[in-house]
Amino acid sequence: MNSCSTKLNQAVQGLAEISGLRFSTHYPLSQVVSFKVGGPADLVAWPHSQESILACLRLAHDLDLPVTVLGRGSNVLISDQGIRGLVLILGSAYSQLYLEGQVLRCQAGCPLYQLAAFCARHSLSGVEGLVGIPGSLGGAIMMNAGAYDCTIGDFVTQVTLIDDQLQVKNLAGRELDFSYRHSYFSDHSGLISQVSLELVPGDKSEIYARMADFQTRRRKSQPLEMASAGSSFKRPQGAYASRLIEGAGLKGWRQGKCGVSAKHAGFIVNYGGATAQDLRQVFAHVQAEVKQQSGFSLEPEVRFLGDWSPCSRELATEL
């Protein structure tokens, strides 16, 4: 038995000893990510508390196993070879909300639609625009997700994180360096565990009406029926990614089983049966064509995770 197999077997035994923890081996990550592609993870665990997160991280640290953290898998493309080591999925098991006055304390796995619905029920306004974003709160904090003039960073008062030394720390909202698709976590490591948001009292009927309007607008303009990772590229300064892609003649362009949406040029979609490598090549083709025709360099919003082939790693330097 090689050292890698020994470590994985030890990790399985260690995960089994963490109270209440659900875990799996050789788990197909295509079942997690919104692109519906991706190979298996060696180990996957679904923590249900900050204590179980810490227990998993300590185990991985002791065994020198790499750790990858996922939420709802809506802003990632995972390689066909999958992810080595331990994957922590902060999902429904770690998604509780606690309201204290106008301050909402949330576990990082909370889906954004659940957050928006909870706020509406309690007549709290501000995050209605997030209702259709298919990610988790932790992922939203990482990239300062937003839509319809709403960004999550506008409402964050504190984030609890676990750093590389497995220390639990609190950062105030002003320390999180929020800007367009950017936060403190764009430049620093750390696992987002819990978030505190301060919202604004509002009229419940008006909040629900705005949410319904945003959902209608999304359905009309975005390919929600297709497997995608949401908006594929960040907005470059002085332009819009979707307009640049359409201007390059790529709206509706298709390569095999994936391509650029004919409904919204800012979305790369999997029509069914595409591989992660196929999708990666679409990203690279779009970037090359837009650069050639407009001079703009598009930066993906999507994160590329896992083991990629040498060809893909070369593409990564271009992306």
Q: At what angle do helices 112-121 and 204-221 cross, to 10 degrees?
A: 150
Q: What is the largest CA-CA distance in the chain?
A: 63
Q: Is 301 a catalytic residue?
A: yes
Q: Is 181 a catalytic residue?
A: yes
Catalytic residue among 22, 181, 254, 303: 181
Catalytic residue among 52, 228, 301, 312: 301
**Distance separating alpha carbons of residues 233 and 242, to the nearest angstrom:** 8
Contact 126, 169 (CB under 8 A): no
CB contact burial 272-303 (16+ within 10 A = b; e otherwise): eebbbbbbbbbbbbbbebbeeebebebebbbe
Q: At what angle do helices 50-63 and 3-16 cross, to 10 degrees?
A: 160
Helix (H, G, I), strand (E, B) or coil at 146: strand
Q: Is 100 a catalytic residue?
A: no
Catalytic residue among 136, 183, 231, 312: 231
Contact 301, 230 (CB under 8 A): yes
User: Which residue numbers are catalytic?
Assistant: 181, 231, 301
